[in-house]
Structure formats: structure tokens, C-alpha cells
Amino acid sequence: MARLCAPATGGWVVGDSIRILLVDDQELVRYGFRLMLGSTAGMVVVGEASDGADAIGAVERLKPDVVLMDVRMPGVGGIEATKRIMSMRPDTRVLVLTTYDLDEYAFGALTAGAAGFLLKDTRPEDLVAAVRAVHSGDAVVSPRITAKLIEVAAPHLGGGRSDTADDALAELTAREREIFVLIGRGDTNGEIAARLHLSESTVKANVGRVLAKLDLRNRVEAVIRAYELGIVG
């Protein structure tokens, strides 16, 4: 059952914080995440849900910025819940957390519209960084599964495409092509900004244009597309 959490209070303004919904069928797991994220400056846990169906309703009511979503749950699972949430509220960022690193879970979650996929043994500081990254528009994938994900996902996302790299990139400006290559390497907006001596807002705008022109939903698909085209490898 979904429940509303009392927001943590401290030295920051809750209204300016990243609003987080925790979704996991294990109460102890939710408790641990709530303690960790609820005590982090700039974050507030606004609610919890124990299955995908409750998560969908909680997203509609609470309008969180980021959802931490388990994959395996009774009833509606995390992948189906992610798909419905993205259809209902596409601005919400879903970060999938699981104990499993099997390819099909990662591919299913990301093609459903998740902004990232991490294993539950991710270090606390890396989880906090991932929440901030997906909230800012970046995508996050556990390094342990990135290579597997690309190998499995690329044929699915590129099925039937016969265009060459030159054809695919024809609509991009020189700057957008440069940024696309760096996205394909897995660089974040901040890393791209530092490398190209640009502001993060400029990089973010360029990333948006790259995704739109290449008909990609998110940065993860951009990474896969870059590998598919042979731009990075």
C-alpha cells in the first residue's frame, strides 16, 4: 500500500528539494533508502509504495520528481509500472534499482522509459549522485551492466535501420555531433561542459536537440545509438 511520508526537515528548503518516491515490496529496503535519502541535503522522500500498482497511484497524487523503482514485485512489476508512469507523467524520472543484473531487466526497464538502472549494492554516495543526475536530465546505468546492455539492446533499438552514420547525423550541427559523441562515451552534462568549455545549460539544450533530431527518448538510447552507428565503441 502506498503511503505519504512526512518530509525531512533540516537546513534546506523542502520546496526546493528533489521529491522522491520509494517503490519496493520490502519494507526494510524502503526504510534504508528513506533514512539515507531523507537525510541528504536537497532531497525529500514524499512517499512509499510496495508494488507497481500503488506506485502508479502515488505518482499521480504526489507528483514526485524521481521514483526509485524495484523490478520484481507482486502484481504489477517495476517495468510495467515504469511504462505506465512514463505514459501518464513523462516528466517524472524513474531510477530502477534491483538485486539482479540480468540483461533483460536492464533492457526492459530502459525501453520502458526509465532514466537509469542501478544495482541495490550501489554505494550510498553513488545512489545520491544518480538521483541528482537523473533529476537534472542525465541517464545513469551501472557500469557493471553497460557493456551487456549495449550488446543486448542495440539490435532491438536499431532493428530495420539501414542508415549510415553520415545519414543519421546529417541533421546535426557540428557542435551537436561533438556532443553526441561525448554522450555516446557516457559523459554527463557536467563532464561535457567542462570538456567543451560550455555552460551546463548550453550542453543541456544541445542534448535535447540531439535527442529530438535522432528520434531518441533519452540519453541511454543515445548511447546505444552511438555504438550502433560505430561512432564510439
Q: Is residue 56 part of a domain?
A: yes
| Structural domain includes residue 144 | yes
Q: Are residues 89 and 187 in the same domain?
A: no
- Measure the CA–CA gap between 160 and 145, rounded to whole angstroms: 25
Range of weakest confidence among 71-75, 110-114, 181-185: 110-114
Q: Are residues 134 and 19 in the same domain?
A: yes
Does residue 177 lie in a domain region?
yes
**Rounded alpha-carbon distances, angstroms, from residue 111 to 73, 150, 171, 177, 217:** 19, 12, 24, 24, 9
Parent domain of 75: 3-150
In a domain, 155, yes or no: no
Examine residue 196 and state whether it is found in any structural domain, yes or no. Answer: yes
3-state secondary structure of 51: coil
Count of the separate structural domains present in the chain = 2
Other Cβ atoms less than 10 A from the Cβ of 101: the count is 16
Task: Output the domain CATH number for residue 196.
Answer: 1.10.10.10
Q: Are 50 and 134 members of one domain?
A: yes
Q: Are residues 119 and 212 in the same domain?
A: no
Confidence of residue 205 (pLDDT cuts 50, 70, 90): very high
Task: Judge whether residue 135 has pLDDT over 60.
Answer: yes
pTM, to two decimals: 0.70
DSSP codes of every residue in 108-144? HHHHTT-SEEEETTS-HHHHHHHHHHHHTT--EE-HH
pLDDT at 160 over 70: no
Average pLDDT over residues 25-52: 92
Residue 103's identity, in one-letter code, is D
CATH classification of the domain holding 12: 3.40.50.2300
Residues 48 and 87 in one domain: yes
